[in-house]
Homo-oligomer: A and B are copies of this chain.
Amino acid sequence: MLPERKFIERIRRMSAGIGNPALLRGIGDDCAIARPAAGQELLVTTDLSIEGVHFRREWHPPRSVGHRCLARGLSDIAAMGGQPVACFLSLGIPGSLPQPWAEGFMRGLLALAGQFKVPLAGGDTSSSDKIIADIVVLGQAPSGSAVLRNGARPGDIIFVTGELGGSAAALKGLYAGKKLPAAARHRHFFPVPRLDIGRWLRQRKIPSAMIDLSDGLSVDLAHICRESNVVAVIDATAVPVARGASLELAMHGGEDYELLFTAAKKTKLPTRIMGISITPIGEIQAASSRRRGIQIRDETGRIWPLQLAGWEHFRKN
């Protein structure tokens, strides 16, 4: 690795081409300075990526690790219907890490940053035993308009963008030592945060609640149910399962980075937005002392309580 100072100067040069009008001052002072556009509120999210937990050097190319690191943060901004303003990266890397790995990581991260006009505005670096990358993304949305998790109401329809389970299916393949088809690899290695769709939906005031699918449909929908104090009933046959995945992976697999949202029953929605499918997968019902969390309606019409089985990092150790 380059010495810390040189590496920081290298990052500063690599990221110099990306700007955003809401960022007044980026790398180079004690703090970055941002000012949301008039009438906008600021959104903030942080996501930690750790070698051996969120990625493996033997499976994930460095560009993918950098891309996925930022995609996680951008996906949170998408879930509020926001627009990204800037990102910050805290990076811990082993002294023995080959320089090309660190370069590849930064290239992957900055390629995605360039695509969505998200300047790298600061961060921190340190040595560490394993690679760790904490990404902070600032975004903005018109005051009072950001879409929260707590607005789902009984009678609302539950929608998802795209197909689910593809990333988990690819991960399963990597675990089993399989060579993956290019499309499956790409879906897992370079997920696209649904920023444009999130904003499209928010501008039309369509979602009553929204979240991104990072931990898995079962876990993330449970967040909406808990924050909105409602119950969800999912139609097993309606869930859009990605090619190569199963209903099990679509329900519980993480890292699809699609959007999950609820909308009033009368809402007219196209079947595709910007080329991505929009699929109704169930409905919101009132919570009661007998009915909590998520239920699933199978192909015979019977309704079962869903067992939670999403990704909880602590549990895996």
Task: List residues of chain A with CB under 8 Å of any chain B CB.
Answer: 1, 3-5, 7, 24-25, 28-36, 41-48, 50, 52-54, 76-77, 79-80, 82, 86, 88, 90-92, 94-95, 121-130, 132, 134, 136, 138-139, 143, 146, 148-150, 210-212, 227, 312-317
Contact partner, A28, options B32, B35, B127, B149, Cβ 8 Å: B149
| A7 to B313 alpha-carbon distance, docked (Å) | 12
How far apart sit A234 and B129, CA to CA, in the bound complex (Å)?
Answer: 37
Given known contacts A35-B41, A132-B132, A212-B30, A4 and B90 CB-to-CB distance under 8 angstroms = no
**A-B pairs, 6 with minimum CB distance:** A95-B317, A31-B43, A134-B134, A4-B314, A30-B79, A48-B90
Q: A34-B41, A46-B88, A46-B124 are in contact. List 18 more A-B contacts (CB 8 A).
A: A4-B312, A4-B314, A4-B315, A28-B149, A30-B77, A31-B79, A34-B42, A35-B42, A35-B143, A42-B138, A44-B88, A48-B125, A48-B126, A52-B129, A92-B132, A125-B313, A127-B316, A129-B130
User: Is B125 a contact partner of A47 (Cβ separation < 8 A)?
Assistant: no
Does A136 lie within 8 Å of B136, measured CB to CB? Answer: yes
**A43 to chain B: closest residue by CB:** B31
A selection of 29 A-B contacts at a CB cut-off of 8 Å is A1-B314, A4-B312, A4-B313, A24-B41, A25-B148, A28-B227, A29-B149, A29-B150, A29-B227, A30-B80, A33-B41, A33-B44, A33-B146, A34-B44, A35-B36, A35-B42, A44-B122, A46-B134, A47-B124, A50-B92, A52-B129, A53-B92, A94-B317, A95-B314, A124-B134, A127-B314, A127-B317, A129-B130, A134-B134
B residues within 8 A CB of A46? Answer: 88, 90, 122-124, 134, 136
Contacting residues, chain B, for A91 (C-beta < 8 A): 48
A127, B53: Cα distance in complex, Å: 7
A315 nearest in chain B by CB position: B3
Q: Are B148 and A29 in contact (CB-based, < 8 A)?
A: yes
Tell whether, in the assembled complex, residue A128 and residue B32 are in contact, meaning their CB atoms are under 8 Å apart: no
Instruction: Tell me the bound Cα distance from A59 to B91 in angstroms.
Output: 24
B32 touches A45 (CB 8 A): yes
A92 to chain B, nearest CB (A): 6
Chain B residues lying within 8 Å of A48, measured Cβ to Cβ, are 90-92, 124-126, 132, 134
Closest B-chain residue to A124, C-beta based? B48
Q: Which residues of B contact A210 (CB under 8 A)?
A: 30
Chain B residues whose C-beta falls within 8 Å of the C-beta of A317 in the assembled complex: 94-95, 127
Partner pick for A31 among B86, B95, B124, B139, CB 8 A cutoff: B139
Chain B residues positioned under 8 Å from A35 (CB to CB): 36, 41-42, 143
A31 shortest CB reach to chain B, Å: 4
Q: Contacts A43-B31, A148-B29, A313-B125: A88 and B4 contacting too (C-beta < 8 A)?
A: no
Residues of B near A43 (CB, < 8 A) are 31-33
Contacts of A33 in B (CB 8 A): 41-44, 80, 146
